[in-house]
Amino acid sequence: MATQFRRALQHALLDNPERFGLREAALNVGQRLIAVLDDLRQPDPPILRDLPGQDPADSADEFVRRFVAEVGGDGRLVVDAVSRRAARAIAERLVSPAGPLADPARPQRVTGELFCTLYRLFFGELVGEFVHVLIAENVKLAVPVLAFDPTDTVAGFVADQVVKLLPDPCATATAREPGQSRLAEVARDLLTETVTEALGLGDTGLEVAA
């Protein structure tokens, strides 16, 4: 069923790439994601300044709030809400016990490897969350109405599968001459391709496995 929804969304967007405003939203939020993740690779990133420092949990909650606001924006459309949910998923990975911002008041820098992982995961989450909304709102594309509500399972499956299709900024940066461009610049260069593949609009022939 997850594959059916993914393919139904893909076909709907192939008919009209601007349907739902998803493509434009993904490009815009992707730019903001890259900017924030790049900041977190630098000393003293603005998003971590003046966090409450007494309780790591309070610092983490405030960081997540800031990250979602910076990346997801404050738009009121469905695609904006989906973007914020995807941003929250990434922020929560950063503040997880194994993450570099487990205590954001005493942060570690985001590594290049983690930057690339989170970049790809974000777009998987974005598409997965949008499929979640289609199911929850019972939006009929080319699939039957579900007799049950497996939204979390379907969304997670779609997200995991989409990530496998996306270009890796780290691999692309490695293939270029050393020092040719910063990782954030490579990610920006790949953004249109990343969104295109995430939404199933590419001509590579790749698609989510059944």
**Chain mean position to CA 36:** 12
Q: Which two tokens stand for residue 60?
A: 């983490």
Residue by residue, DSSP assigns the chain as -HHHHHHHHHHHHHH-TTGGGHHHHHHHHHHHHHHHHHHTTSSS-GGGTT---S-HHHHHHHHHHHHHHHHH-S--SHHHHHHHHHHHHHHHHHTSTTSTTSSTTS--PPPHHHHHHHHHHHHHHHHHHHHHHHHHTT--SSSPPPSS--HHHHHHHHHHHHHTTS--HHHHHHHSPTTSS-HHHHHHHHHHHHHHHHTT--SS------
The answer to whether residue 149 scores a pLDDT higher than 60 is: no
- Segment 122-148, tens digit of pLDDT: 999 999 888 887 776 655 544 444 434
- pLDDT exceeding 70 applies to what percent of the chain? 84
Integer CA distances (angstroms), 71 to 75, 92, 202, in order: 11, 13, 25
Average pLDDT over residues 5-34: 87
Q: Which two tokens stand for residue 3?
A: 């594959």
User: What's the whole-number average pLDDT of the chain?
Assistant: 86
Q: Which two tokens stand for residue 205?
A: 């022939």
The segment with the largest mean pLDDT, out of 71-80, 116-125, 177-186, is: 116-125
- Among candidates 1, 162, 4, 28, which has minimal Cα distance to 12? 4
Phi (first) and psi of residue 148, to 5 degrees: -140, 180
Average pLDDT over residues 155-170: 90
Cα–Cα distance measured from residue 191 to residue 34, given in angstroms and rounded to the nearest whole number:
9
Average pLDDT over residues 78-107: 95
In the prediction, which pLDDT does 143 show? 43
The torsion region of residue 44 among left (phi > 0), alpha (psi -120 to 50) and beta comes to left
